[in-house]
Structure 1
């Protein structure tokens, strides 16, 4: 085992990558849309995860051919260039992309896509510092010319990328496990409460089986110092997580508004979501419910809230003016089937391990992410060197 002896060299970031602009097919031309080609915008990859495998929108071959959008290959990199600057992912399959993003490809024999991905993660703060401001922050191709990096020899680049990739692959595996567990929970719930339901079981409203605590107007509780504060959980954070741009509030609020990993959170306004919170400790903001119950286990009120979500989304769309939402009366109207205590106990033996595993996986994801984020700047700067 020995350290790499070859020297690192300073180069422009733009000299080791190819930068590709995207575009949008004309929205009024129906023949351009709803095809078999995934088409990326920043909403598809701003979750912080390494890989992006699906998109909200798709385009046709005709849309690709007759517009300025480009097709990236599996393993290529996508980075947001406007608004939310610096969101980053690698493609799990070929995808096209819009003009608010750049496609990035490593130049052969100089570097690899995997290494460039982590290099970009490490330099996002620099991209933000020199982004061309205005109404929105923007990075241009010139921005990449203005950033100089210290580049190790190719073998060391590959070793660094392999080390960090192994951690991201673990994170991705845990996310995929959770997706499977969520799907299994949903299928079993449907079997027990829809397909094989006992018509003699009682019904209650969703609002009666659980307590839906609405969040605070957290701007009224600003931090009093740099120690006694916590990030504010807002609707956008349910997808992307707490970030450096998150707001903070004082910890001197009623402890019932504290949100911890494993709590059930329900966004009842704008983007309606029911989620088991998978992030750090934070404070519940308005437009979010923290859902708890003294009568029923977590799996029961979580899955019933998820079951009614499509109906709530339809109600919110009907209410929408500038921002759709539901009311507490809608929780009263959503009915829940209550099995007898003996049946509920049997079901808990099936559902509780599934939900507990999801929560445990979420906690492990955060631990691995912390390790990756600690190693990243040390490996990229050469503070920690790889060995053969």
Structure 2
């Protein structure tokens, strides 16, 4: 079958569309989908089997997700189901390739309607080739997802080791302990205020041209231009604060959601002047990164943050938080283990990047028929 034999069709002929409904209030283990993926979990469902979820409104208008289990589609999304002799997974890749966000109406509040979707056209190979194309792209997505799960496990291992060493003190149980204001701690360790072990940084960008970072709730510093769909920083960044490699930064108004990030890039960046930037002893950078993710630290931040609606925590108050501070030799042992995990995670991220690039290169070529998949080779 040549590409010329692919038939042109409206989406309405190959997909059935349904509006989502207001999410249930009772929690459960069934995923609730909105325009940006899974929102929460509930105890009922409004679709099952292969389903496509399309963001309907707002910033996530046009996002596309595939689900093959029971789920609830909220009123912020549109549900699409494949018709007879149409591969749902193939249509998922078609919609991903279509860039639906460009099809919306409205400027202040983007909106994607069933009418717009139904009127879009695409070209369709025969059913067997649809499945073959979908299987090729799915194999790459499966490898990417497996690598993401491995990286998640590595992150969980790092957190578990930190908790074992510096919260539960398990490797030191046979040694001497002494009383402190934070309870029993290994002998030789100290209780200190963060102000004793951190230094606030106020260096301004001035006339330099450097990238802008943002702290996000995952506890990372990310490149703003890559993370956000639109520019969130000022054109004039001369008053922004410089963040050198392994410096920390947080937005005082968002610290209560865990957004303290460390600059793990190999270059210097900057953050908005509303941010707080600080530096620790370089030997303690990984210790401090993991410390900020502990439940006790998060609880202390929430206790000290002021404001009833939008909590804030300036550096003066941040400096008063007390922590258990181990001596350097112990931290260096932890660094050796932690950096090994970082190296493993970095190699996996490189593999994810390569696989993603292959998939993104193949996607338009497979969708257009420029590259053909031998149908007989796909099970």
TM-score normalized with structure 1 length: 0.74
Aligned equivalent of 2:41, options 55, 58, 77: 58
- Cα distance 1:361–1:336, how it changes in 2: closer, same or farther (>3 A)? farther
Between stretches 270-279 and 364-373, larger displacement belongs to 270-279
Cα distance in 1, alignment partners of residues 3 and 359 from structure 2: 25
Deviation of 1:109 (Å): 0.8
Larger-Rg structure: 2
Deviation of 1:280 (Å): 11
Between stretches 11-20 and 295-304, larger displacement belongs to 295-304
> Does residue 198 in structure 1 map to residue 198 in structure 2?
no
- Cα distance 1:255–1:57, how it changes in 2: closer, same or farther (>3 A)? closer
Q: Deviations over 1:81-121 (max 9, x none)?
A: 000211222236422121110122222312x2211111111
Higher relative contact order (CA 8 A, sep 6+): 1
Q: Deviations over 1:112-137 (max 9, x none)?
A: 2211111111112xx33332215411
> Does residue 121 in structure 1 map to residue 96 in structure 2?
yes
Matching residue of 2:104: 131
> Does residue 152 in structure 1 map to residue 125 in structure 2?
yes
Contact 2:252 2:275 in 1 (8 A): yes
Deviation of 1:159 (Å): 2.4
Cα distance in 2, alignment partners of residues 106 and 204 from structure 1: 61
> Does residue 37 in structure 1 map to residue 35 in structure 2?
no
Between stretches 364-373 and 83-92, larger displacement belongs to 364-373
Contact 2:276 2:314 in 1 (8 A): no
Cα distance in 1, alignment partners of residues 202 and 39 from structure 2: 29
Contact 2:250 2:261 in 1 (8 A): yes
Contact 1:264 1:275 in 2 (8 A): yes
Between stretches 372-381 and 240-249, larger displacement belongs to 240-249
Cα distance in 2, alignment partners of residues 121 and 340 from structure 1: 51
Gaps of 5+ in 1: 27-31, 46-54, 62-69
Deviation of 1:310 (Å): 2.2
Cα distance in 1, alignment partners of residues 10 and 267 from structure 2: 39
Matching residue of 1:324: 311
- Cα distance 1:281–1:72, how it changes in 2: closer, same or farther (>3 A)? farther
Deviation of 1:12 (Å): 0.6
Q: Deviations over 1:228-267 (max 9, x none)?
A: 885764648969952553457789979984788x986645
- Cα distance 1:74–1:354, how it changes in 2: closer, same or farther (>3 A)? farther
Cα distance in 2, alignment partners of residues 352 and 180 from structure 1: 15
Matching residue of 2:176: none
Deviation of 1:319 (Å): 2.2
> Does residue 80 in structure 1 map to residue 65 in structure 2?
no
Matches within 5 A, 1:186-335: 186-196=159-169, 197-210=185-198, 233=214, 235=216, 242=227, 245-246=230-231, 257=242, 266-270=250-254, 271-274=257-260, 283-286=269-272, 293-307=280-294, 310-311=298-299, 314-315=302-303, 318-321=306-309, 323-335=310-322
SS in 1 for 2:364: helix
SS in 1 for 2:78: strand
Deviation of 1:80 (Å): 0.8
Q: Deviations over 1:292-338 (max 9, x none)?
A: 544325421210121255226624875243x3332213431233333
Cα distance in 2, alignment partners of residues 383 and 280 from structure 1: 39
- Cα distance 1:88–1:318, how it changes in 2: closer, same or farther (>3 A)? farther
> Does residue 173 in structure 1 map to residue 146 in structure 2?
yes
> Does residue 364 in structure 1 map to residue 351 in structure 2?
yes
- Cα distance 1:373–1:181, how it changes in 2: closer, same or farther (>3 A)? same
SS in 1 for 2:28: strand
- Cα distance 1:254–1:176, how it changes in 2: closer, same or farther (>3 A)? farther
> Does residue 22 in structure 1 map to residue 20 in structure 2?
yes
Gaps of 5+ in 2: 170-184
Cα distance in 1, alignment partners of residues 56 and 304 from structure 2: 32
Deviation of 1:291 (Å): 6.4
- Cα distance 1:38–1:147, how it changes in 2: closer, same or farther (>3 A)? same
Contact 2:241 2:271 in 1 (8 A): no
Cα distance in 1, alignment partners of residues 268 and 365 from structure 2: 28
Deviation of 1:354 (Å): 1.7
- Cα distance 1:306–1:381, how it changes in 2: closer, same or farther (>3 A)? same
Deviation of 1:371 (Å): 3.0
Aligned CA-pair RMSD: 4.0
Matching residue of 2:11: 13
